Amino acid sequence: MIIAAIAIAAGIVLALVIWSLLTPDNGFMRQLEDPSARLLPSQDVVNAMFNEDDRDFIVRQNSPELLAILEAQRRTSAKLWLTGIRFEASEALREYRTTIRKTSSVSFTEELRVLSHAFRFFALHSLVSVLVRCTSVFRVRNLLKQLYGLSEPIMHLGPVTSASFS
Partner 1 sequence: MASTFTSPDLDQRIELAVQDLEYRTLSAIDSALARLVYLGSTRDYNTGRYHHDGLVYRFGEDAAAAALETCHRQAFQTILLAPLRTLAQEVEIYLNRTEDPAKTTDAWRRLKAYQLLVPVPCDPVSASLFSANIQLALGTLIVRQTARTVATPLPTGH
Q: What is the rounded distance in angstroms from the CA atom of residue 150 to the CA atom of residue 108?
A: 21
Distances in Å between the Cα of 90 and the Cα atoms of 86, 96, 110 are 6, 10, 18
Task: Give whichever of 78 and 114 is closer to partner 1, judged by the CB atom.
Answer: 78
SS3 25: coil
Contact pick of 51, 99, 104, 161 for partner 1 (by CB under 8 A): 51
Nearest to 92 by CA among 17, 38, 14: 38
Going by the DSSP 8-state scheme, the letter that residue 160 receives in this structure is T
Measured between alpha carbons, how far apart are the two ends of the chain, in Å? 33
Q: Which stretch binds partner 1 (CB under 8 A): 63-71, 90-98, 133-141, 157-165?
A: 63-71
Distances in Å between the Cα of 81 and the Cα atoms of 5, 88, 146 are 32, 10, 14
31 binds partner 1 (CB under 8 A): yes
Count of residues in contact with partner 1, rule CB under 8 A: 30
Q: Which stretch binds partner 1 (CB under 8 A): 11-19, 65-73, 93-101, 126-134?
A: 65-73
Task: Give whichever of 10 and 68 is closer to partner 1, judged by the CB atom.
Answer: 68
Helix (H) or strand (E) run with residue 7 in it = helix 2-22
Task: Give whichever of 27 and 149 is closer to partner 1, judged by the CB atom.
Answer: 27
Interface map 99-138 toward partner 1 (x if CB under 8 A): ----------------------------------------
69 binds partner 1 (CB under 8 A): yes
88 binds partner 1 (CB under 8 A): no
33 binds partner 1 (CB under 8 A): no
